[in-house]
Structure 1
């Protein structure tokens, strides 16, 4: 039954996706079809309705639309320019400095907006024309922007880590948030190092010197935006509020900040709410559909069957972790991040637990893998957005991305086999 149910479930899902059915609908329909082969029609419909309700009956889920709203407010509030100027202060005197500014800008803006696509668009739209004017290769600028855009999904507050917490059975959001810092910083540094060597070889220029007076003004201008991260993470770690309450604080702070910057007006609010509702509706439907999908897998014993099959191949932890990474990398190239987390975490999570992997560490492994997939053809969303923003040729950008892929895979392997890179900070703060 497990093998038959698994074949029906995943073949149906694959066929629906091939025919262009939206991911959430494809997930739900494939789950219902599989259940109809096991249970009577009335029981299947009752179970489906129940699971759709249970899927979103969780207070933690409220953090997702609130963090999305905070990110959209900041995205529309002129924050990107302040963060780019701040990034120039940090890395402006290194060969290829504009590319490094792009990376740091993506790290800062991505952690605030919680969206890799928003980072690639907002930061890339500003930085790539500046790089082209300074005789940087357009493909180099596009590749650097694309390679660094997903890092914000590792740096807190990340809605993706909240989704992982939900489907992994309640892994601590606070621990996941703080665990993302070191891997996220390593991702950013890896891209900077690779960009540096390429820029050094091509003799790309450094940015103009910034006076100490201007540096002080730039830092003070960016400080209120950066304080959002401090307030949210400081409040969660100190126990002042939960992740959901932190998201509400983030919305309030972002609103006040953009009003003070005079970059938010009443006429902007309907569009901001419309965008928030659109993104939230998509994510919540994915969560409810995935709840039904996970129920079907659990009911038919698919995760246990897959776990037993993999463990029967080998009990070597190194080989199994390499297999898990390979599976996630392949999945990430064909599926967007959120549905991939929702569908495949329940399958791979039991295997990770059998191997004795910490749930927090495994969450970072899953996220890191799928973030790489986010910039990888054929489906990589950030890849297409970043290429379009740069007005570059797809083939040239792919070629320019190859060194960054190699660097990121090396960092992924280090993070996979050195758990303390993910667990040191959560343990330090007793999370």
Structure 2
């Protein structure tokens, strides 16, 4: 019966996805149908509903709507323009300087807002037209904007790390995941800048204007209030001053105050800010509801244990096991949103990697970077379509320029997979893990 249940679960889930049914509905329907194999109709419906509601009965999840609201406030509060000005003063004079500016600004804005899509929209819409006038190819500019925006999902604060902490069953803390994300995030940013250097050298991209130290100081002073949010949120969590949820609430208050200080946020803006944030929160929470029900079904059917035994026994080499997991997650990331992917596949793969001696925090970095690459690739590729739309370039043209950058991101992924210190050094330094 277990084998039949597993086959039904995956066939219905992937079949519904292929038919174009939204991910959350595909998860909920396939979970309920599988439950009907084991128990009667009404108990199956009751169990599915119960698992959905208890799945989000978690205090840590309150951080997600707060961080979503904070990101939306920041997006409207003029933070992107200040970060772009600072990045331009810092590195804009290099050959192909505006592409470096795009990368650094996306890293900073993505980290502050916690949203890759917000970073791609805000930074791309501000810089793309200017870069096009200065002679930068739109397709390569879009590729840089898309890939650099993913760094905000690795550099804290990041909603996806909160979701991973929940899915890991407490084996990885939010604080440890947050602090661990810095080095992988910076490595991804550096790899994108390396590709910009190679492309700029080959194509002879224009150099930006060199600015004075006085202007650099002015732009830094303008951006410092925005950048300080990172230190307040992450420093407070790591220092044990407040929890991730409390930090998210503080981020909202700080973002609102900063928006008024910058004189770019008006009271009339709050209606649309709250409405957009509520819609985004509803979508995310519904995904979490159904995904938690499916995760419970995995445990009920002993799928994680069966998968662990199968992988370890059939693929004897730990190196190859990790490679298989990476390939699987890369494929998953191409057609599934990040939230359900983390909630569904963490319970399956985490026992496997822990049996091989990998720390849960390191696996969190591996999983998130895999899925970051996934949201840049078709057929789903949310970030790909947002970035192409902002740059006004056909997706097919962007993909050609995107592939080499995704290639170096994959190399960084393999380094993070096989070199634990990259993910674990900072959490150990701060005493967050043993």
Q: C-alpha deviations, 1:277-311, integer Å up to 9, x for none?
A: 11111111111111110111111112222222211
1:369 aligned partner: 370
Q: How far is 1:32 from its partner?
A: 0.5
Q: C-alpha deviations, 1:40-59, integer Å up to 9, x for none?
A: 12321221222122111110
2:175 aligned partner: 174
2:329 aligned partner: 328
Is residue 340 from structure 1 mapped to residue 366 from structure 2 by the alignment?
no
Range that drifts further, 60-69 or 15-24: 15-24
Range that drifts further, 226-235 or 88-97: 88-97
Q: In structure 2, what is the Cα distance between the partners aligned to 1:69 and 1:347?
A: 31
Q: In structure 2, what is the Cα distance between the partners aligned to 1:379 and 1:45?
A: 30
Asked whether the equivalents of residues 146 and 384 of structure 2 are also in contact (C-alpha less than 8 Å), the reply is yes
Q: In structure 1, what is the Cα distance between the partners aligned to 2:354 and 2:5?
A: 23
Range that drifts further, 171-180 or 397-406: 397-406
Asked whether the equivalents of residues 2 and 305 of structure 1 are also in contact (C-alpha less than 8 Å), the reply is no
Q: How far is 1:388 from its partner?
A: 1.1
Q: How far is 1:142 from its partner?
A: 1.0
Q: In structure 1, what is the Cα distance between the partners aligned to 2:151 and 2:331?
A: 19
Q: How far is 1:89 from its partner?
A: 2.2
Is residue 100 from structure 1 mapped to residue 96 from structure 2 by the alignment?
no
1:15 aligned partner: 15
Q: In structure 2, what is the Cα distance between the partners aligned to 1:136 and 1:287?
A: 40
2:359 aligned partner: 358
Q: In structure 2, what is the Cα distance between the partners aligned to 1:304 and 1:5?
A: 15
Is residue 210 from structure 1 mapped to residue 208 from structure 2 by the alignment?
no
2:81 aligned partner: 81
Following TM superposition, the consecutive aligned residue runs of length 4 or more in structure 1 with deviations greater than 6 angstroms are: none
Correspondence 1:271-282 to 2 at 5 A: 271-282=272-283
What SS does structure 1 have at the residue aligned with 2:310? Answer: helix
2:253 aligned partner: 252
Query: What is the TM-score of this pair, normalised by structure 1?
Result: 0.98
Asked whether the equivalents of residues 69 and 252 of structure 2 are also in contact (C-alpha less than 8 Å), the reply is yes
Q: In structure 1, what is the Cα distance between the partners aligned to 2:240 and 2:371?
A: 30
Q: How far is 1:396 from its partner?
A: 1.7
Q: CA RMSD in A?
A: 1.0
Asked whether the equivalents of residues 90 and 216 of structure 2 are also in contact (C-alpha less than 8 Å), the reply is no
Tell me, which stretches of 5 or more residues in structure 2 are unaligned?
none
Asked whether the equivalents of residues 143 and 402 of structure 2 are also in contact (C-alpha less than 8 Å), the reply is yes
Tell me, which stretches of 5 or more residues in structure 1 are unaligned?
none
Asked whether the equivalents of residues 96 and 207 of structure 2 are also in contact (C-alpha less than 8 Å), the reply is yes
Asked whether the equivalents of residues 3 and 302 of structure 1 are also in contact (C-alpha less than 8 Å), the reply is no
1:389 aligned partner: 390
What SS does structure 2 have at the residue aligned with 1:412? Answer: helix
Query: What is the TM-score of this pair, normalised by structure 2?
Result: 0.98
Correspondence 1:387-426 to 2 at 5 A: 387-426=388-427
Range that drifts further, 313-322 or 186-195: 313-322
Q: C-alpha deviations, 1:373-409, integer Å up to 9, x for none?
A: 1101221111111111111122221111121011111
Asked whether the equivalents of residues 153 and 371 of structure 1 are also in contact (C-alpha less than 8 Å), the reply is yes
Q: How far is 1:18 from its partner?
A: 2.1
Q: In structure 2, what is the Cα distance between the partners aligned to 1:259 and 1:42?
A: 53
2:133 aligned partner: 133
Q: How far is 1:3 from its partner?
A: 2.2
Range that drifts further, 101-110 or 256-265: 256-265
1:269 aligned partner: 270
Q: How far is 1:218 from its partner?
A: 0.5
Q: In structure 1, what is the Cα distance between the partners aligned to 2:285 and 2:139?
A: 36
Q: In structure 1, what is the Cα distance between the partners aligned to 2:185 and 2:285?
A: 26
Range that drifts further, 410-419 or 395-404: 395-404
Range that drifts further, 387-396 or 272-281: 387-396
Asked whether the equivalents of residues 335 and 381 of structure 2 are also in contact (C-alpha less than 8 Å), the reply is yes
Q: C-alpha deviations, 1:244-277, integer Å up to 9, x for none?
A: 1111111111111101111111111111111111
Q: C-alpha deviations, 1:221-257, integer Å up to 9, x for none?
A: 0000000001001111111101111111111111111
What SS does structure 2 have at the residue aligned with 1:95? Answer: coil
